[in-house]
Structure 1
């Protein structure tokens, strides 16, 4: 399994494979890598004729077969892309099994004139590569698209500013990267807003503070506060705001679960002083102060019940095809009435 760095290196060297499977939590990042593959594989004059796309959520086996069997137009290769190929996950329903078997046939014996690309989105960074994909590793190049960090993130963000005709100072660049949600789609959107806001002048930290929304960790604090105050409508409203910002449902659930676990540990702390909680949780003092204050709104039994509810909801979301947003809303309502 390759990472993004190695994939980009291979593409630059014109080392293309017949089949790619990409997976990760950042869909925009995955799309960018796929675009690079397409640009290398196809003549730009005939892209529209030699690029066939399928929605994995509405997969048609017959159409996919026809696309793979049909020869490219005035080109050595054609690209068949299946996006949101959730049937590559370990799902038990008959439709996903059927779609997987059809694609498996062509992945294991990809026609010479075809370049196949599949991708699906991981619910969170803890989700492991599926057994279905593991079976295909011998016949395809599997790429894990983790979110960018450190110098790679700084470089990507700086390049984006520069491509839009805007310079940003090194200090402001790092400050922006620390403040913005680590999601490529959101990063690009916030860069555009910041450029429009500052127009012809230099970007300052004040501009970044004025334009960027709070990080989701702050929103999770507020969401749990609404739960403690029995304000389910506001909690659900904030959840919807997080979804609008591009956060993943499983990620939101994980953050809520983490918050309740931290509050549970604070509640168990005999002293409940900032110093003792910092020592226990290994978190900054200002966060521990907020946790201590928030923990006073809950009883130990309530927190235990909330944690159990989060775990049960997580299991439900990962094992069924039920509407995830509805399930999370129900969980929030139930935590309020515990």
Structure 2
């Protein structure tokens, strides 16, 4: 398993593999890596004729293999991309869906024993959260394919990417302000791009200031709250408590943590209510003032709860808030009791 730097080095040496498997939690960043490989393999003149794309959640894998084995047109290579390949996860789901995932993985495994030499097969799997690790299936493929774990951009790499985005948007930002921005933003490329667009629009042509950044950007802890609630939806109380402890260690106050959890449950309740009444993602994103990417993730998360369950959890939030304000008992214990109740 390699990282993007290793991949870049291999491609510069014209060392091509027959199959690339990308995995990570940032889909936009994965897509950029997929484009990087594709642009290194195909010439733009015949891109459309030698490029195929399949939805990994729905596609018949036999059709994917047939596409791989079809000869390229006026080119040495062709590229076949399978996106959101859920069959690479270890989770089962229903018996039918579990059987299909196993069958697709088996067909992929057999194909990679003797892949078409003229085809570059690119598959990517998006983790459900930042803490997910490469599955046993992905590790197994590491022997037959080039597996790339797409880690989120950090440090100087993140700063350079953000500077490029600010400059492309025609806005100036100083080194100190850039460092502050990168320390505050959740390093998910969809969110990074959205926050830069908001700041550029807010500044209206002038240089970005520290005050602009503090005024416009959400707190980074919101992503931790999303993951915490996601673990509660899975009844994985141990991982949810791990995130609670991380937030406390980072200095977040328990009343604020509870407030953010309550806000998340309220948003999920309104989203689920909206979906059940026929509202689209675009309408909900506008009404709730959410970025479309965040709204999409929250729609998926809302499906893990019933309306009754969300209403009960909101009531538990209110009860716990009263307990925190009216008693002298340990706040951390009260939060742990509250979280356990949400999964009962």
Same fold (TM over 0.5): yes
Is the deviation greater in 16-25 or in 214-223?
Answer: 214-223
User: Which residue does 1:66 correspond to in 2?
Assistant: 66
Is the 2:194–2:291 contact (alpha carbons within 8 Å) kept by the matching residues of 1?
Answer: no
Report Cα offsets for 1:249-294 as digits up to 9, x if no partner. Answer: 79999xxxxxxxxxxxxxxxxxxxxxxxxxxxxxxxxxxxxxx979
Q: CA deviation at 1:53?
A: 0.5
Is the 1:107–1:116 contact (alpha carbons within 8 Å) kept by the matching residues of 2?
Answer: no
Is the deviation greater in 66-75 or in 84-93?
Answer: 84-93
Q: CA deviation at 1:61?
A: 2.1
SS at match of 1:57: coil
The root-mean-square deviation of aligned C-alpha atoms, in Å, is 3.6
Cα distance between partner residues in 1 of 2:326 and 2:28:
35
Structure 1 residue 205 and structure 2 residue 210: aligned?
A: yes
Q: CA deviation at 1:119?
A: 0.7
Is the 2:89–2:137 contact (alpha carbons within 8 Å) kept by the matching residues of 1?
Answer: yes
User: Which residue does 1:24 correspond to in 2?
Assistant: 24
Q: How many residues align?
A: 274
Is the 2:17–2:145 contact (alpha carbons within 8 Å) kept by the matching residues of 1?
Answer: yes
Unpaired stretches in structure 1, ≥5 consecutive residues? 254-291, 310-333
Is the 1:226–1:235 contact (alpha carbons within 8 Å) kept by the matching residues of 2?
Answer: no
Structure 1 residue 11 and structure 2 residue 18: aligned?
A: no
Spell out the pairing of 1:301-312 with structure 2 (5 A cutoff): 302-308=334-340
What TM-score, normalized to structure 2?
A: 0.69
Q: 1:78 to 1:19 in 2, by over 3 A?
A: same
User: Which residue does 2:259 correspond to in 1?
Assistant: 225
User: Which residue does 2:134 correspond to in 1?
Assistant: 129
Is the deviation greater in 207-216 or in 64-73?
Answer: 207-216
Cα distance between partner residues in 2 of 1:128 and 1:33:
19
Is the 1:223–1:235 contact (alpha carbons within 8 Å) kept by the matching residues of 2?
Answer: no
What TM-score, normalized to structure 1?
A: 0.70
Q: 1:24 to 1:42 in 2, by over 3 A?
A: same
Spell out the pairing of 1:88-237 with structure 2 (5 A cutoff): 88-92=88-92, 93-217=98-222, 220=225, 222=256, 224-225=258-259, 233=266, 236=269
Report Cα offsets for 1:232-253 as digits up to 9, x if no partner. Answer: 6467459987895639679999
Is the deviation greater in 1-10 or in 35-44?
Answer: 1-10
Cα distance between partner residues in 2 of 1:214 and 1:172:
16
